[in-house]
Amino acid sequence: MMQERGIPTIVWITPILPFINDTEENVRQILESCAKVGVKGIIDFGMGLTLREGDREYYYEALDKHFPGMKKRYIETYGNAYDLPSPNSRKLQGILKEICRDNNMMYKPEDCFRYMNEFPEKYKQLSLFDV
């Protein structure tokens, strides 16, 4: 386990795929697993995903292959939007806050980034050229 090894960890919980893995059960399981291993914080900028041009076509091709009919649902719901929030985003973000608070994990992005920027020297990434 990371905590036993002393590895401070921040998890960026993305992507959460609308209509596919954006369930309460899935998000709870991810967050509870993070809590169990001692994750310091969870970064989330909204439960969902982003799709740039080019990425969108690749993603839609994968949807056609693995989730027939889902591409149509995405197009009807999001059009060509860059930001694709889960319809369950508000509820899932509430669960994130609840589990993080209950387990003393950071959940505000600014807190997580501040923690990473103030990272203790002993955890600094070593260079191949360090002697």
Q: What is the pLDDT of residues 57-103, one digit of tens each?
A: 999 999 999 999 999 999 999 999 999 999 999 999 999 999 999 99
Q: Is the pLDDT of residue 120 over 70?
A: no
Q: Is the pLDDT confidence value at 35 over 90?
A: yes
Q: Report residue 36 as tokens.
A: 């169990």
- Asked whether the predicted pLDDT for residue 1 surpasses 90, the reply is no
Between CA 20 and CA 114 the distance in angstroms is 32
Residues in a beta bridge with 42: 11
Q: Check whether 50 has a pLDDT greater than 90.
A: yes
Alpha helices in 1-131 (DSSP H): 2-5, 24-36, 55-66, 70-78, 89-102, 109-117
pLDDT of 97 reads 97
Tell me the pLDDT band of 118, cut-offs 50, 70 and 90: confident
Q: Which residues contact 43 (CB under 8 A, 6 or more apart)?
A: 10, 11, 12, 13, 109, 112, 113
Q: In this structure, what token pair is assigned to residue 60?
A: 């839609």
pLDDT band with cut points at 50, 70 and 90 for residue 8:
confident
**Are 111 and 41 in contact, with CB atoms under 8 Å apart?**
yes
This prediction has a pTM of: 0.82
Q: Are 46 and 90 in contact (CB under 8 A)?
A: no
Rg, C-alpha atoms of the chain: 18
Given a cut of 60, whether residue 108 has pLDDT beyond it is: yes
Query: Mean pLDDT across the chain, nearest whole number?
Result: 90
